[in-house]
Structure 1
């Protein structure tokens, strides 16, 4: 812990002049469910006076630990809090808000390719169970799971006649179809309901799942408790939005409005990157004296990792006061945040602190660490981590293969990719094939990637769009437009559902091939379909493309479309739009006012851009000529 404390001294000195200029308002403490006197939301979500651009937010007590004051004895939370800003530079500050749009867990995606949709996937289905299901191990409190290990001959998903009936039920006669199914004497107990819901959620068929939940509640065929209401709330939030989810809570009996219900709403607010609502829901958990869990704290950390990493320290400080110990997922977020800031020494300090608390990294976290080492050029350290992941016998450690394949490819280790794939190819699992396609694609071996895909088609016959998208991304990265179009048609002919990932790959495919207008057309048509919402990062990719070209007209169209879809409050959108004006060499009239209207304040980079694009800016030449 001393290593972390020493590393934090520089940050304290740099931050002191900012923190002392703040005026912080804190509400009186409220009594929480754990029996402690706590600070209410006034301490965590501060109202600040002074410079609006830095966005620094710290609890009152934290100020006493910063600057030239004597260093006092600190425990894990104080140390980890300081690590969030260790070795920060002006460049880090400039990147601050950009990271909200460039998030991606370093697992098997391309080195340097960062997108925030993977963070959303983490929130909805995290590998260590931290965020695997906001309502518990399963929607209805059961522990039944679905078997899908991807092995040949064993890849059959557990289904039921109820699930089949739900899938086949027409939308406008859904209730009548299920009523008839029950009248025929089919069983409808909790196990059948849970299995059906599990299969629906596994396939992200949230619309069908919501219809099913509404039918269960209307017909009173299931006794609803807090978990059932939470599951229902989760589906409402996913399909109808946060506002409808809040209204749904008003209909839930007060006896069932507990921590699980509110943390479900919180997770959906975080998934939607709705900062204001997320903070409001978190405050309700505290104000209603509900238990404050590590899950809720991790959701806030995940949110601030996206939109304002300076607030991560506040959450850690609060966890210290509440006596909430960080989980593996907490450390994962902190390690990934440091890695994205290229602060490798700070990342290593967090790893040391984690191990000091008796928490060891899992396979996923090891991959995160290895990827950051690779991205920052620490090849030897990355190789050491990969050897640790392999273990003594990779043949008996098959779970590691899907992680190792793309990471070795990122290191340009063709022989190691071939060695790992040879272990898998005689009896491959679906996720290993997916990783192999990505790995061979990174290495530029298109034929090998296609060979793996064709073997998948032969072995599993019916593949979801996820596996087609893997090869489609390879074609996009290598500007193979014709092959990409043929694959997309083949995918459609096979009956695969076209989802956001496919749209993202198709847009990139056409942009990389120089067909920007066609890519825009694809994105526009996709957004007009009610059941399909393209990724935020897909729009950002198009906005960035137009910005580079100095195409203000189309950049404004994409910017407007983002606002229509509810993507507001992110500085990255304004940065790219302003880039379009700068590259077009035209003045951006009223740009500051537009930002203020969306409650956006410029960072250093954007401030410089605004000054450069100011049509009324006075220069030495203009002074002489006037």
Structure 2
């Protein structure tokens, strides 16, 4: 489990800080968001929903739309969030703020890629609006794509324009150095930050993760001590979670458990109590502490109302301990709650059953979820396809994979080995027509490019 602060998380918190209310509470009390929320397929546009809202004469403003964008980002619905961003300015003629532009750049990266981000920055953002937020967003995009030279160039521009006065941009670049394993540059940048007094707790957590990655237990001790003694730093739940995870990575169980106790002590003072409980569940499972895992689960249920994400955290934690029976009991508890049917939850058991050859149970769970109004995810069908292949049920694997392809989100692809096995099976059966149909489906759903599609068809026809 990787708990290091990502630059995108830091950026999201920065651009959300201007609002006094939690984005989730705004969006969930927002009846427009409740209309948008069920449209889960990224290939289905939500613009008609927005247009219908206006036709009904209902009010809509910048703050409401910004809250919807933030909530969609939380659930990784980047394409829909980008649609709202463009609709806000192009249909409602609301001039974008600098923060809106920065948010849009990060959404363009997720949906269209880095080249389109650069095009948007160079061609559509006036120089007068290219302030700290916009340059930091560009830096974040380069860091996300591990484009080191371009990220360093933007960071130097931030320095030259005297925009690099807060830890945010430094932390983004520092996190990039951690991600690529360049500890020399990471330490040099951290030294610069310390000289300028431009660091925060996220700086320390990135360094913690880097020490853990290099198995440097003394380095972890040093950063934890500095984090707790520096008057400018106030460690929070995520700080202690990252410290605990770092100690677990280097095999210091006793110190990890000490960090988890400190994390637990911060729960009552944090605004994100559910996230703190999720950290505890996952880390106690990673530590092999099943008793503590169940104790925290009981405390979580006592103190908070648990929704789908809580059940996801508990079930994944139990499976870390190979406790299938315990996972089944938590799943039954979730079913009894009648919460919205998210296939991410049964997927834990579907995957487990498929890997263990209990395909009947996996199929029953899928059918039960569909009957309850759930929509199987691409992973649902891929788990089944993999299970069928492992146990020589290739015809069923082909059918499951076709279903996976039809619900596959943009820029995602089913497992290539599974695809190849299914194609080889169809070819081996002499079922050329079905093989051609399968290949065309892959092309139509964007899994393969036109050139790959043509090569495969030529191969099939040649074999014919």
TM norm structure 1: 0.55
Match of 1:158 in 2: 29
Residue 266 of structure 1: CA displacement? 1.8
TM norm structure 2: 0.72
Aligned counterparts of 1:392 and 1:282: Cα–Cα separation in 2: 34
Residue 452 of structure 1: CA displacement? 0.8
The answer to whether the aligner puts 1:132 opposite 2:12 as a matched pair is yes
Aligned counterparts of 2:42 and 2:280: Cα–Cα separation in 1: 44
Q: 1:356 to 1:165 in 2, by over 3 A?
A: closer
Q: Which runs of 5+ in 1 are unaligned?
A: 1-103, 107-118, 150-155, 543-563, 566-626
Residue 306 of structure 1: CA displacement? 1.4
The answer to whether the aligner puts 1:455 opposite 2:333 as a matched pair is yes
Counterparts of 1:426-437 in structure 2 under 5 Å? 429-430=306-307, 431-437=309-315
Match of 2:247 in 1: 373
Contact 1:142-1:194 within 8 A present in 2 as well? no
Contact 2:377-2:407 within 8 A present in 1 as well? no
The answer to whether the aligner puts 1:303 opposite 2:200 as a matched pair is no
Q: Deviations over 1:309-338 (max 9, x none)?
A: 2321232233245x1422111111111111
1:211 aligned to 83, 95, 99, which one? 83
Match of 1:385 in 2: 259
Residue 454 of structure 1: CA displacement? 1.9
The answer to whether the aligner puts 1:346 opposite 2:219 as a matched pair is yes
2:74 aligned to 185, 202, 205, which one? 202
Aligned counterparts of 2:237 and 2:199: Cα–Cα separation in 1: 18
Q: Deviations over 1:538-574 (max 9, x none)?
A: 88999xxxxxxxxxxxxxxxxxxxxx99xxxxxxxxx
Counterparts of 1:285-324 in structure 2 under 5 Å? 285-310=158-183, 311-320=185-194, 323-324=196-197
Match of 1:245 in 2: 117
Q: 1:133 to 1:480 in 2, by over 3 A?
A: farther
Residue 342 of structure 1: CA displacement? 1.6
Q: 1:449 to 1:331 in 2, by over 3 A?
A: same
Counterparts of 1:136-285 in structure 2 under 5 Å? 136-137=15-16, 141-147=18-24, 157-161=28-32, 164=35, 178-179=50-51, 181-219=53-91, 221-249=93-121, 250-285=123-158
Residue 288 of structure 1: CA displacement? 4.6
**Which structure exhibits the higher relative contact order, with contacts defined as CA atoms closer than 8 Å and separated by 6 or more residues?**
1
Larger Rg: 1
Aligned counterparts of 2:352 and 2:256: Cα–Cα separation in 1: 24
**Aligned CA-pair RMSD:** 4.4
Question: Which region of structure 1 is more displaced relative to structure 2, 273-282 or 513-522?
Answer: 513-522
More helix as a share of residues: 2
Contact 1:363-1:389 within 8 A present in 2 as well? yes
2:295 aligned to 419, 422, 447, which one? 419
Q: Deviations over 1:248-268 (max 9, x none)?
A: 112112211111012112212
The answer to whether the aligner puts 1:443 opposite 2:321 as a matched pair is yes
Match of 1:90 in 2: none
Corresponding residue SS for 1:132? helix
Aligned counterparts of 1:266 and 1:297: Cα–Cα separation in 2: 10
Contact 1:526-1:534 within 8 A present in 2 as well? no
Q: Deviations over 1:334-364 (max 9, x none)?
A: 1111112221111111112222322243222
Residue 511 of structure 1: CA displacement? 8.9
Match of 1:409 in 2: 285
2:6 aligned to 117, 122, 128, which one? 122
Residue 285 of structure 1: CA displacement? 2.8
Contact 2:278-2:313 within 8 A present in 1 as well? yes
Aligned counterparts of 2:217 and 2:405: Cα–Cα separation in 1: 39
Q: Deviations over 1:127-147 (max 9, x none)?
A: xxx34346x117xx5343244
Contact 1:238-1:268 within 8 A present in 2 as well? no
